[in-house]
Structure 1
Amino acid sequence: MHKHGIGAWMAKRRLKSPDKVALIHGEGETMTYGQFTDGVDRISAVLRQRGVGRGDAVAYLGGNSPDLLQTMFGAAQIGAVFVPVNTRLAPPEIAYILGDCGARVLIHDPDFTAPVASAAPAAGTPHVVVTGEGTATGPGLADLARAADGFTGHAVTTHRDPAAIVYTSGTTGRAKGAVLTHGNLTWVALNCVVDYDVVSTDVALMISPLFHVASLGMGALPVILKGATMVLEKTFEPGRALAQIERHGVTMLSGVPTTYQMIADHPDWTRTDLSTLAKLTCGGSAVPARILNAYEARGLSFSQGYGMTEAAPSATALPPAMTRAKQGSVGLPHFFTDVRITDGTGAVVPAGVVGEIEIAGPNVFPGYHGLPEATAEAFTADGWFRSGDLGHLDDDGYLYISGRLKDMIISGGENICPAELEHLLGEIDGVTSAAVIGVPDDRWGEVPWAILTVREGVSLDTDTVRAALDGRIARYKLPKNVVIVDELPRTASGKVRKADLRARFGA
């Protein structure tokens, strides 16, 4: 039988480009595709020695590293399911994920020994392995991999088989495990190759965490599929990111608006050679005008997009050539993905009409792990994924996001979409980020509040902000109060945790 899953990729990469540099990590260490694949084989053997087989979950808790990627492919080669764990989670949250997916093995960085010490026993995870060299308590992953017997016998997987369980950000309630198949991950990589023009000569700087599906599905996988090179950064630091771009001739960079703002605000921004940069992608929210201006001044343009974990994660892409012409849009559906807008009854609405965004395509997940009711609720009768996001398509088919269904503010019977107001707030001089929430009001039911972060030395109040917006939107949409905070609470993917803001300001 043929092997169609991502577990077959590494053997083919070793065959096609064994001497090509796959990874640059640490302080300049390099790893070729041949060396990378040898390591993948050894981790497959380590997992098998611990009884891991088809369908078993292999969890990973750690920063960006060769170990993380080798564990993913090592699990895929034997038909196991990779579960990346958000490094920002507390021990009870880690324990919940390990228990929910039934992880047979947890591999973790030494930095997370303390939370793992309580989380793994609580979840009943039978095997825990620390990355690196061994300690007094036992051998590390590096020791086990060196001692592992040669690996043979890839599992036969199809595009329908599960490859990963990625837990959603969990901005409301418990996180749900989105099951991503080998087909989902393959097709999202192909979408990125087509729409972001990934080529084998690219050098991609990975500054976002690979436990997040955007970095994994839209960053690492397309690069490996094309045999390009990744520069892996364990954590993000804007000055170091600039240095790495110049040092390694980086051509590709992805992040969220906050990431790009921090890079542009760094003192090294104006003196760093960015001449090799050609492909910048940004997700999480539309790129504010101030960031577009800063990068365009350096001759750089963005590809923007929209998606969610359940789409592995990307659904649309806005090419750089349309950044200004379609400013505020998140682009067209990916080559192998479809998007439609429906009303509350499920009927497709005309261009320009706001409704729920629905997505279909081979990159869309089959469902949530162990949650058949939530899975059924997530799909329409004809098989489209209900995103829970509001938006509209223009006459040219470009998608614009209006907000979340659950984030919709209803004030005096009028609907207010937070995303519309946030976009305009972001254009006010001195505002660095903005979030809008609905706060209970005796007269209107709800009124919008703006929670802002501002540049050092900038002073803004409610009257000033309302005056800046007056005339640009209906008066009932103007924020009734403006609160300045040091930073907005965010998920690992850069999305604002509106639930946290409601808990703080909404009572």
Structure 2
Amino acid sequence: MANNPSTLAEACHENQKAPTTHLITLLDQVADQFPDHDAIISLHQTSLRWTFAQLQEKSIQLAARLSSRGVGHGSRMITLMHNQAQWALLFWASARLGCQFVPLDFRVLDRDARDVLFLLDQLEPAAIFVSNQTMANRINNITVDHDHRPFVQCVVSDNEETAIPARWTTLSNIMSEPLLDNPPLHQPENPDDTILILFTSGTTALPKGCPHTTISIGAQGLGFMYRLELGPGANLCQHLPNFHVFNIAFTLAFWLAGATVIFPNFSFDPQSTLQLIRSYQRVTTPCVPAMIHALLNCALPQHGSHPSFEVILGGAPVTLDVVKCCRDLGATRVMAGYGMTEGIPFVNTSLEEMSMGLTTRDVSVGKVFYGGRVRICAEESRIPIHKEEVGEVHIGGLPVFGGYLVGSNNSCYHEDGVNWIATGDQGYMDIEGYVYILGRYKDIIIRGGENISPLKIEQCLGEVNGIRVSQPNLVCYRTRS
């Protein structure tokens, strides 16, 4: 059979024009357009809220003070923090300085000290910010003999009476410092500059750094913004960890739309999330499947009308059972996204019958959005196979990074100026161009010469009364390792 291009399992979004404006300029444009709209609300911090104008002003003040301490263009700023308003301030200030913002999983401080030292040696940060004194003490204990010391070591705490360890300061102290002069701030120019570094989970190997630029992370934010038709008045329930791409891409999408990001608690708490979605209008709630089960377990029967909300699922293959659970929670719209730390190019804006293979129980993650590309290839190949055939999912285009921070990897490649990565996920594309994810190739069970997907087993079990398929990880969006 000849390779008819229309039958090949590949797709390219019509808009392949890369953002030409630096991220902080985009955010400043939003702040200038919607100065009085809420940019961030942190309900667990006595309902702390900052408008776009306030976040803009505070980030300028913080950037100036960090600049006077030696933090500038190309410097790396590490955060190990809970979900709190100050994280947003640090993100904006970092972009304003032309720094590389590196949000890390604070749980690494509870692991082997060598894991922390590995990250610090690789990053050599100019500044490090933690949520509390306990984290600062842990870092001090780990780095007691470490040669490199950041210019700034800061505890971000709402408690003004917190005892600060030696060589550390507080964010309030930095913000209150008088400026003898106005240090020049970096003028953002090149959207190809690295502005964000995210790390893979490192479950089977050392975590790998994924540098993102305005082009790659901006394309993800704009993709969500356009596909979800976001605008002022929309609210994001942000209960995902701030070191994951699923969090940051969604947060950017809402900010770029002049919409509001709300932290219900310092980390995922089902009761706090339920309270938020019942108290605000036009709420979007991104969840991994385990979160949906946790929310459903805590939800009480609702009587009468309550605000509508929508759910977008990611982080693991989505089953019909999970979609039904979202409906049981009262979600008016259920969506599915697909991506990885290296890039998110997909979202299905509505999981209706047209996007579900009801005979196969497969749920589509949709079509590529802003700047995205996809192809389904045979294993260890980069040549697309045909639609409806099962193969390995390759994602590419503007939302995909250009390669790992250190070292190389055979899964990453460049073709005709386009970044690509072979995901290691098994899937297929239907005739209409919808993509379906069937799970990881390395998880496939081989029995009697036949390949069996664990997802198919989970799908069948999920339809049996009295059985709920376990999803143990409540916080992790799918990452490569």
Which structure is higher in RCO with an 8 Å CA cutoff and minimum separation 6?
2
Q: Which amino acid aligns with 1:23?
A: I
Q: Using a 3 Å threshold, how does the CA distance of structure 1 residues 427 and 142 change in structure 2: closer, same or farther?
A: farther
State the partner residue of 2:10. none
**Is it true that 1:257 corresponds to 2:285 in the alignment?**
no
Tell me the C-alpha RMSD between the 2 structures.
2.6
- Which residue, 42, 60, 70 being the options, matches 2:89? 70
State the partner residue of 2:256. 225
Q: Using a 3 Å threshold, how does the CA distance of structure 1 residues 293 and 147 change in structure 2: closer, same or farther?
A: same
1:196-240 deviation digits (Å, cap 9, x = unpaired): 2211110111111111110111x2101111111111131121112
State the partner residue of 2:372. 337
**Is it true that 1:350 corresponds to 2:372 in the alignment?**
no
Q: Using a 3 Å threshold, how does the CA distance of structure 1 residues 123 and 301 change in structure 2: closer, same or farther?
A: farther
Q: Using a 3 Å threshold, how does the CA distance of structure 1 residues 306 and 494 change in structure 2: closer, same or farther?
A: closer
Q: Distance in 2 between matches of 1:491 and 1:236?
A: 8
1:376-406 deviation digits (Å, cap 9, x = unpaired): 5422555422112111111111111122232
Q: Which amino acid aligns with 1:29?
A: L
Higher alpha-carbon deviation: 325-334 or 145-154: 145-154
State the partner residue of 2:153. 128
**Is it true that 1:33 corresponds to 2:52 in the alignment?**
yes
Q: Distance in 2 between matches of 1:386 and 1:32?
A: 40
After TM superposition, give the deviation of residue 273 of structure 1 in Å.
5.6
Q: Which amino acid aligns with 1:235?
A: S
State the partner residue of 1:469. none
Q: Distance in 2 between matches of 1:128 and 1:269?
A: 47
State TM-score, norm by structure 2. Answer: 0.84
Secondary structure of 2:106's aligned partner: coil
Q: Distance in 2 between matches of 1:249 and 1:491?
A: 25
Secondary structure of 1:259's aligned partner: helix
1:158-200 deviation digits (Å, cap 9, x = unpaired): 2211011100011221000001111111111110011122111
Asked whether the equivalents of residues 130 and 141 of structure 1 are also in contact (C-alpha less than 8 Å), the reply is: yes
Q: Using a 3 Å threshold, how does the CA distance of structure 1 residues 305 and 123 change in structure 2: closer, same or farther?
A: farther
State the partner residue of 1:328. 363
**Is it true that 1:411 corresponds to 2:447 in the alignment?**
yes
Higher alpha-carbon deviation: 356-365 or 232-241: 232-241
**Is it true that 1:244 corresponds to 2:276 in the alignment?**
yes
After TM superposition, give the deviation of residue 430 of structure 1 in Å.
3.0
**Is it true that 1:144 corresponds to 2:174 in the alignment?**
yes
State the partner residue of 1:8. 25
**Is it true that 1:17 corresponds to 2:34 in the alignment?**
yes
1:291-348 deviation digits (Å, cap 9, x = unpaired): 333433435221101110101xx22212225366415221111232111111133221
After TM superposition, give the deviation of residue 246 of structure 1 in Å.
2.4
After TM superposition, give the deviation of residue 42 of structure 1 in Å.
2.2
1:248-269 deviation digits (Å, cap 9, x = unpaired): 3352111111112211221435
Q: Distance in 2 between matches of 1:303 and 1:101?
A: 36
After TM superposition, give the deviation of residue 136 of structure 1 in Å.
4.9
State the partner residue of 1:52. 71
After TM superposition, give the deviation of residue 411 of structure 1 in Å.
3.1
Q: Distance in 1 between matches of 2:245 and 2:102?
A: 11
Asked whether the equivalents of residues 239 and 268 of structure 1 are also in contact (C-alpha less than 8 Å), the reply is: no
Equivalenced residue count is 438
Runs of 4+ that moved beyond 6 A: none
Asked whether the equivalents of residues 189 and 222 of structure 1 are also in contact (C-alpha less than 8 Å), the reply is: yes
After TM superposition, give the deviation of residue 151 of structure 1 in Å.
6.4
Q: Which amino acid aligns with 1:368?
A: Y
**Is it true that 1:397 corresponds to 2:420 in the alignment?**
no
Q: Using a 3 Å threshold, how does the CA distance of structure 1 residues 290 and 274 change in structure 2: closer, same or farther?
A: farther
Q: Distance in 1 between matches of 2:306 and 2:47?
A: 19
Asked whether the equivalents of residues 64 and 232 of structure 1 are also in contact (C-alpha less than 8 Å), the reply is: yes
Q: Distance in 1 between matches of 2:333 and 2:269?
A: 21
Unaligned stretches of 5+ in structure 1? Answer: 434-452, 454-486, 500-507
- Which residue, 324, 335, 348 being the options, matches 1:293? 324
